[in-house]
């Protein structure tokens, strides 16, 4: 008998019914103390463990959260997954993991897998070029809630957790203005991303407050690849009103931008200054880090997203239809990168 023991076996050995065993194991109130003891003792002796797959099946609940991220090896997301796992664990949930590699097709396929695994809910940071959201909509029919974070789709009724990039951007631009920069460029990310739009907003607002005119030429986009960033840099540096400072979409992009600038014989922090958004916790160890970085608190975002999802899952039992959508906004914060 190499198979794990079942309540059925216990019942047989004790000559009692299966359901009695089940109750005894669950400390059901209406059960004889003596039988309860006998059952629990034998269970321990046999090293009995309930078969979760049976329970999952029967309860229609798996206590598993699906998590889909673009790249696990990126510092931002690995911090996030760390926060997610910790929080899930705290609430007795497990984490089923998938990475989309920023590929819409793969993302779709993973959502499918997760659905088939009957995860109780999903936490997703979408692939950067996902344009079709059908695979998310579909989950509503199955009553599988989603909490998006950081990279959020442009959909009306969703739950999400995000950092307010507008405020961070305002802080960043203000910082540069106070340091007497007047021509400030921006290398933004894909337009589709809400976070990109927020950066634009922040940029414009900060400039307006200083009564500086908005020069659209100073605003370029990168697809986040090295090549895209180089093209963006090229376009900024070829302007007649050349920027003396550039706000860059994130630290990875900034590293590429810095490299390009150095390649073009520009002296970092003298000829040109960079400010960035921190997807990279180690940027303060870097040789030529951006002067400052807008911190986005990935661990906390992961935490919050998970807490939100867990709360949602708790509620879904009570109310048949939850109509309120969670929008959790964390404040981003400009941090100076003093190179010690």
Partner DNA sequence: CTGTTAGCGCGTTCAA
Partner DNA sequence: TTGAACGCGCTAACAG
Closer by beta carbon to its own copies, 203 or else 299: 299
SS3 29: coil
Do the Cβ atoms of 247 and 184 come closer than 8 Å? yes
Within residues 278-337, the interface with its own copies by CB under 8 A covers 280, 282, 285-287, 299
Q: Which residue has the tokens 């309930």?
A: 50
Instruction: Supply the angle between the helices 226-237 and 251-263 in degrees, to the nearest 10.
Output: 50
Q: Where are the strands (E) in 43-155, listed by range? A: 64-69, 94-99, 121-124, 146-149
Q: Which of the stretches 34-42, 82-90, 136-144, 221-229 binds DNA when contact is defined by CB under 7 A?
A: 34-42
Q: How far is the CB of 64 from its own copies (least distance, A)?
A: 8
With b for 16 or more beta-carbon neighbours within 10 A and e for fewer, the 18-27 pattern comes to eebbbbbbee
> How far is the C-alpha of 321 from the C-alpha of 339, rounded, in Å?
52
Site string for its own copies, 112-131 (x = CB under 8 A): -x-xxxx-------------
Within residues 54-83, the interface with its own copies by CB under 8 A covers 54, 56-57, 60, 62, 64, 67, 71-75, 77-79, 81-82
Q: Kindly state whether residue 90 participates in binding its own copies, applying the rule CB under 8 A.
A: no
Return the one option of DNA, its own copies, none that residue 35 interacts with (CB less than 5 to 8 A, by type): DNA
Do the Cβ atoms of 30 and 19 come closer than 8 Å? no
Q: Kindly state whether residue 5 participates in binding its own copies, applying the rule CB under 8 A.
A: no
> How far is the C-alpha of 100 from the C-alpha of 226, rounded, in Å?
20
Return the one option of DNA, its own copies, none that residue 26 interacts with (CB less than 5 to 8 A, by type): DNA
Closer by beta carbon to its own copies, 191 or else 318: 318
Listed residue (187, 163, 170, 144) closest to 309, CA to CA: 144
83: tokens are 């926060």
Closer by beta carbon to its own copies, 95 or else 162: 95
> How far is the C-alpha of 276 from the C-alpha of 286, rounded, in Å?
13
Return the one option of its own copies, DNA, none that residue 285 interacts with (CB less than 5 to 8 A, by type): its own copies
Task: List, in sequence order, the alpha helices (H) in 225-278.
Answer: 226-237, 251-263
Q: Which of 37, 45, 51, 89 binds DNA (CB under 7 A)?
A: 51
Q: Where are the strands (E) in 91-196, listed by range? A: 94-99, 121-124, 146-149, 159-164, 184-188
Q: Which helix (H) or strand (E) holds 87?
A: helix 75-90
Within residues 141-200, the interface with its own copies by CB under 8 A covers 141-143
Q: Kindly state whether residue 40 participates in binding DNA, applying the rule CB under 7 A.
A: no
Q: Kindly state whether residue 143 participates in binding DNA, applying the rule CB under 7 A.
A: no
Closer by beta carbon to its own copies, 78 or else 269: 78
* Interface positions with its own copies (CB under 8 A): 2, 4, 47, 49-54, 56-57, 60, 62, 64, 67, 71-75, 77-79, 81-82, 85-86, 89, 94-99, 110, 113, 115-118, 141-143, 255, 280, 282, 285-287, 299, 339
């Amino acid at each position: 008998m190499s198979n794990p023991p079942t309540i059925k076996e216990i019942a047989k050995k004790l000559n009692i019914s299966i359901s009695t065993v089940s109750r005894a194991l669950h400390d059901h109130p209406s059960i004889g103390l003596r039988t309860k003891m006998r059952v629990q003792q034998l269970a321990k002796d046999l090293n009995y463990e309930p078969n979760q797959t049976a329970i999952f099946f029967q309860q229609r609940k798996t206590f598993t959260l699906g998590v889909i991220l673009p790249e696990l090896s990126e510092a931002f997301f690995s911090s996030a997954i760390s926060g997610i796992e910790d929080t899930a664990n705290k609430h007795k949930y497990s984490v089923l993991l998938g990475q989309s590699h920023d590929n819409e097709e793969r993302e779709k396929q993973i959502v499918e897998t997760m659905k088939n695994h009957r995860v109780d809910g999903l936490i997703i940071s979408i692939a950067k070029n996902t344009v079709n959201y059908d695979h998310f909509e579909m989950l509503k029919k199955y009553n599988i809630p989603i909490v998006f974070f950081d990279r959020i789709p442009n959909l009306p009724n969703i739950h999400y957790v995000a950092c307010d990039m507008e405020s961070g951007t305002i802080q960043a631009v203000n910082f540069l203005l106070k340091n007497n920069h007047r021509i400030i460029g921006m290398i933004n990310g894909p337009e589709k991303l809400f976070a990109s739009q927020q950066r634009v907003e922040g940029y414009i607002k900060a400039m307006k407050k200083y009564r500086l005119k908005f020069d659209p030429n100073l605003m370029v986009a990168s697809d986040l690849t090295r090549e895209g960033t180089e093209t963006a840099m090229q376009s900024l540096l070829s302007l007649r009103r050349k920027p003396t400072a550039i706000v860059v979409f994130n630290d990875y992009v900034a590293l590429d931008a810095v490299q390009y600038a150095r390649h073009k014989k520009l002296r970092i922090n003298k000829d040109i200054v960079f400010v960035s958004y921190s997807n990279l916790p180690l940027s303060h160890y870097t040789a030529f880090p951006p002067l400052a970085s807008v911190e986005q608190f990935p661990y906390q975002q992961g935490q919050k997203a998970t807490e939100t999802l867990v709360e949602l899952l708790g509620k879904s039992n009570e109310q048949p239809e939850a109509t309120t959508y969670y929008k959790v906004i964390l404040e981003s914060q400009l941090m100076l990168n003093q190179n010690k």
